[in-house]
Amino acid sequence: MQPRDIEHIAVKWFEAFNTKQLDKLLDLYADDAEHFSPKLKIRRPETNGLVRGHNALREWWQDAFDRLPTLYYRVNSLTANGYRVFMEYIRTVQGEEDMLVAEVLEIKDGKIVFSRVYHG
C-alpha cells in the first residue's frame, strides 16, 4: 500500500471513533487484530493492556463510549509509510485535562492488525 492509502485508513479511524460508529471502527481491523493501551492496562489489569479480536475491541471501546460520552480525539499529525501510520492527537473529555496521545496502527492487506497507544 502507498503511504496515502495508510493515512486514509487513519482518517477513517478518527471519523468512526469520534462519531462513535463502533461497527465502522471495527471494520478497519483484521478479525484477530491486537490493541495495546496503558488505559486498558489500568482499567482491566487482567489483560496486561492487550486485547485481541473484534469482540474484545468492541467491549473495550463500547465501555469507553458509555463511560465517556464526550470523548473526542483531535488530530495533530499523521505520518505514514507503506505499512504503518503514526498518529498524534489530543484526547479530550469534558471535565478532564486534555491529554496528548500517540498511537501507531500497523496495516496488513488493508486492515489494522496491531495498534499501540502511548501517553504519559
Strands ordered across the beta sheet of 84-92: 50-52, 29-36, 111-118, 99-108, 84-92, 72-80
- C-alpha cell of residue 46: 487482567
Structural domain for 70, as ranges = 3-118
Q: What is the pLDDT of residue 1?
A: 85
Identify the CATH number of the domain in which residue 72 sits. Answer: 3.10.450.50
The stretches of the chain forming alpha helices (DSSP H) are 3-18, 22-27, 38-43, 53-67
CA distance 23 to 31: 12
Q: What is the pLDDT of residues 68-84, one digit of tens each?
A: 999 999 999 999 999 99
Q: Domains in the chain: how many in total?
A: 1
Residues of the chain with pLDDT under 50: none
Cβ neighbours of 20 (radius 10 Å): 16
CA distance 96 to 56: 26
29-36 and 50-52: which strand pairing? antiparallel
CA distance 38 to 36: 7
- pTM of the predicted protein model: 0.94
